C-alpha cells in the first residue's frame, strides 16, 4: 500500500472530483469494468503522477497544448489502461482539470465502495506505518465495523503523534479512539456483570 503525504483539503476540488467520478463510473458501468477503472485511476493519480512530478507538472500546465497532453497519455498508459480510463483522462486534460485528478480518484473510490457496501477509512499518521501494522489495523476495523474496509493511509508530518481515523464523514483522533475503546470495554464488562448476576440469581433461586 502506498502511503502519501497528506495535503490540505480543497472543498471546491473535492466537489469537482465527485462530479467527474460519477461520470467515469457511469461510463465504466456500461463497459462492465467499474472495479478495474477505479483501480487504474487510483494507481495513475496516486502512484504514477506522485512518483513522476515532471509528468504531473506537464499534464497540469496550461502552457502545454491538449494535443501534446493526449499524445503523452497515449504513450504513458495507452497500452496498459482501459479504453474507458484513457478516454476519461483525455477529457480531463482537454478541460484543463488534471490538477484535480487526485480528488477524482478519491471520489471514484468512495462512490464505488458505497455501491459495493465497502467502508472507506482514511488513516492519517505522523509517520509511515509498516505493512503488518496496516494489515492488523484493517482487520481490526473490519471486525469492529462488520463490513469490508478499504483502508487508505496518509502521512501528515504536522501530527504530534498517534493517528487520526476518518470513517465516512466522522473523524476520530487518537484520544477519541482511546475513549471509544475504553467505552467499548466498559460496555462489554457491564454486560458480562449483568449476565453473571442473572446466573447467580437463577442459581440462588433453584
Q: Under CATH, what is the fold of the domain 1-116?
A: Peroxidase; domain 1 (1.10.520)
d(CA 148, CA 146): 7
Whether the pTM exceeds 0.75: the reply is no
Cell 459495493 found at: 116
| Element (DSSP H or E) covering residue 194 | helix 174-205
- For residues 29 and 82, the answer to whether their CB atoms sit within 8 Å is no
9 pLDDT band, cuts 50/70/90, is low
pLDDT digits (tens, 9 = 90+) for 120-171: 788 888 888 888 888 888 888 888 888 888 888 888 877 766 678 888 667 7
pLDDT digits (tens, 9 = 90+) for 11-31: 788 899 999 999 999 999 999
Q: Which of 90, 118, 100, 130 is nearest to 3 (CA)?
A: 130
Amino acid at each position: 500500500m502506498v502511503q502519501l503525504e497528506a495535503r490540505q483539503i480543497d472543498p471546491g476540488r473535492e466537489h469537482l472530483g465527485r462530479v467527474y467520478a460519477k461520470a467515469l463510473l457511469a461510463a465504466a458501468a456500461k463497459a462492465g469494468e467499474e472495479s478495474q477503472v477505479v483501480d487504474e485511476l487510483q494507481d495513475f493519480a496516486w502512484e504514477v503522477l506522485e512518483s513522476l512530478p515532471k509528468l504531473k507538472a506537464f499534464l497540469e500546465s496550461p502552457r502545454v497544448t491538449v494535443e501534446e497532453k493526449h499524445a503523452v497519455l497515449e504513450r504513458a498508459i495507452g497500452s496498459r489502461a482501459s479504453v474507458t480510463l484513457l478516454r476519461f483522462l483525455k477529457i480531463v486534460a482537454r478541460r484543463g482539470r488534471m490538477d484535480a485528478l487526485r480528488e477524482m480518484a478519491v471520489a471514484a473510490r468512495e462512490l464505488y465502495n458505497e455501491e459495493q457496501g465497502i467502508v472507506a477509512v482514511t488513516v492519517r499518521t505522523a509517520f509511515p506505518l509498516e505493512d503488518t501494522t496496516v494489515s492488523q489495523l484493517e482487520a481490526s476495523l473490519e471486525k469492529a465495523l462488520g463490513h469490508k474496509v478499504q483502508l487508505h493511509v496518509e502521512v501528515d508530518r504536522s501530527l504530534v503523534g498517534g493517528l487520526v481515523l476518518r470513517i465516512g464523514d466522522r473523524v476520530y483522533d487518537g484520544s477519541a479512539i482511546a475513549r471509544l475503546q475504553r467505552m467499548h470495554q466498559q460496555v462489554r464488562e457491564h454486560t458480562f456483570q449483568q449476565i453473571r448476576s442473572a446466573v447467580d440469581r437463577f442459581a440462588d433461586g433453584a
